[in-house]
């Protein structure tokens, strides 16, 4: 674009901005597909495939190959994990980076000290990608101390220097913008206004963890992805609630991890989940109503622990298969049925507010305008359905002079807003049944 960004996404409600590494990394695949959302979605879906393979790798390293295979099979068919893998946003790589962090820590504990260097890069990318990466940073600090890792001072200092070097863009941003992030962090941490009480925070986070574990393990057929992914408070009550048996199964898997904490694999998983839980309880207490999404909308805060839920379930299943001996076929049959039901949920899911309708609408607007400069507004009786249009005008190189999203996302545009005087006003009216285009002269209705 017209400038090199030194920050990434805004950390909602805190005034903080993450670093630019994820933005820079995504510039390459975005350029290869000319910014087309389908190409970018294919790229992050590819990351999801890699995540599945790494789950197998970690499961095999932490436990045994059969555990890794079960974990990978569950991950590949988990509706919740699959739809998040298909969604491009700055939180997309966190489950993968969490797995790689676990793997590096385990390798270092085995004396393979060279893994310090990739670990530093992984943590830097995670730190720049999404705020949930704070869980990984604390996890590494605590895990390093508890495991007393056999790392020499020189290796530690080089790894630390590498991590800090990758923070230079943020430092330059701070110096150019009067330490905006630093002041926002001090303000957020020092405010006396608590989000909620400790008891309420523990209840909310525990319920969120239980339902997330259940949603990872089971999903019903014919779900609407718009209702399951959109971070819009009006949709908070529309996400499916897992049945009690799925919640119990997920929690049993976590209990199994706790009971088998003598193995280093189980200890690392347990530590990661505990830090995730404690961190979320603290954040729930600190965050105001606008910083904590209601219901299951906040489940992505558990992205660092998604591997814990899946590996815990796989480990439990593997132990059960081993204990059943000649009757293990029953467990394999139950697992196969679960995988098939979940795969069916993925295949039968639809999207009521997806790309196809928006893409066709934007192309129609561009054809109607025939090159005339315009302003853009999108309205709907459903406040959750107004997004996803402005960007497509950028993809097709016909950007509006001004739009309804400039105040929210203007700083992310890769080209400055056109300086032409608009001759047309475009309003897109989105409804569950249809999308309507209205084109006006200033003061005269020209065409519907």
Q: Confidence class of residue 1 from pLDDT cuts 50, 70 and 90?
A: low
In 3D space, the residue among 327, 228, 268, 250 whose CA is nearest the CA of residue 74 turns out to be 250
Query: Is 331 in contact with 320 (CB distance < 8 Å)?
Result: yes
Per-residue pLDDT of 356-379, as tens digits, reads: 999 999 999 999 999 999 999 999
The mean predicted confidence, pLDDT, of the chain is 92
For residue 71, what pLDDT is reported? 98
Question: Is the Cα dihedral 24, 29, 31, 34 positive or negative?
Answer: negative
Q: Which residues pair with 17 in a beta bridge?
A: 10
* Helices marked H in 1-93: 21-32, 37-62, 65-77, 79-86
Residue-wise pLDDT tens digits, 3-57: 788 998 888 778 889 999 999 999 999 999 999 999 999 999 999 999 999 999 9
Q: Report the predicted TM-score, pTM, of the whole model to 2 decimal places.
A: 0.93
**Residue 376, strand partner residues:** 403, 426
Residue 194: per-residue pLDDT: 64
Q: CA-to-CA distance for 380 and 433, rounded, in angstroms?
A: 11
7-16 in b/e burial notation, b at 16+ Cβ within 10 A? Answer: bbbbbeebeb
Q: DSSP assignment of 228-279, as one string?
A: HH---GGGGGGSPPPPHHHHHHHHHHHHHHHHTTTSHHHHHHHHHHHHHHHH
Q: Of 101-110, 148-157, 205-214, which range is least confident?
A: 148-157
Task: Tell me the C-alpha distance between 166 and 157, whole Å.
Answer: 14
Q: What CA–CA distance (Å, rounded) separates 139 from 276? A: 9
Six-digit token pair at 97?
């980076």
């Amino acid at each position: 674009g017209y400038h090199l960004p030194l920050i990434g996404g805004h950390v909602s409600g805190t005034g903080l901005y993450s670093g630019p590494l994820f933005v820079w990394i995504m510039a390459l695949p975005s350029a290869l597909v000319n910014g087309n959302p389908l190409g970018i979605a294919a790229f992050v879906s590819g990351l999801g495939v890699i995540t599945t393979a790494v789950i197998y790798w970690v499961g095999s390293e932490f436990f045994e190959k059969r555990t890794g295979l079960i974990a990978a099979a569950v991950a590949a068919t988990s509706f919740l994990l699959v739809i998040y893998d298909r969604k491009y946003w700055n939180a997309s790589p966190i489950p993968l980076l969490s797995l790689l962090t676990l793997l590096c820590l385990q390798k270092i504990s085995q004396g393979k000290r060279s893994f310090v260097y990739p670990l530093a890069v992984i943590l830097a990318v995670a730190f720049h990608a999404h705020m949930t990466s704070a869980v990984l940073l604390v996890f590494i600090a605590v895990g390093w101390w508890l495991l007393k890792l056999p790392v020499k001072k020189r290796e530690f200092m080089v790894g630390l220097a590498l991590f800090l070097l990758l923070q230079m863009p943020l430092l330059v941003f701070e110096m150019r913008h009067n330490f905006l992030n630093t002041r926002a962090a001090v303000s957020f941490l020092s405010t006396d206004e608590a989000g909620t009480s400790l008891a309420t925070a523990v209840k909310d986070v525990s319920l969120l963890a239980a339902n997330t574990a259940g949603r990872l393990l089971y999903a019903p057929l014919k779900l609407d992805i718009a209702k399951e992914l959109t971070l819009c408070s009006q949709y908070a009550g529309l996400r499916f609630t897992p049945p009690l048996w799925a919640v119990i199964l997920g929690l049993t898997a976590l209990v199994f991890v706790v009971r088998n904490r003598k193995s280093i694999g189980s200890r690392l998983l347990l530590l990661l989940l505990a830090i995730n839980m404690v961190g979320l309880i603290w954040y729930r207490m600190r965050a105001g109503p606008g910083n904590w999404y209601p219901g299951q909308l906040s489940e992505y805060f558990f992205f660092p622990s998604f591997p814990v839920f899946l590996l815990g379930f796989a480990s439990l299943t593997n132990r059960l298969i081993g204990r059943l001996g000649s009757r293990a076929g029953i467990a394999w049959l139950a697992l196969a049925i679960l995988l098939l039901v979940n795969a069916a949920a993925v295949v039968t899911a639809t999207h009521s507010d997806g790309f196809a309708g928006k893409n066709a609408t934007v192309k129609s607007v561009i054809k109607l305008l025939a090159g005339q400069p315009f302003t853009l507004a999108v309205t709907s009786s459903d406040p959750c359905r107004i997004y996803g249009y402005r960007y497509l005008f950028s993809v097709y190189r016909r950007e509006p002079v001004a739009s309804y999203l400039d105040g929210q996302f203007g700083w992310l545009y890769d080209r400055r807003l056109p300086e032409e005087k608009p001759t047309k006003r475009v309003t897109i009216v989105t409804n569950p049944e249809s999308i309507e285009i209205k084109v006006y002269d200033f003061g005269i209705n020209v065409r519907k």
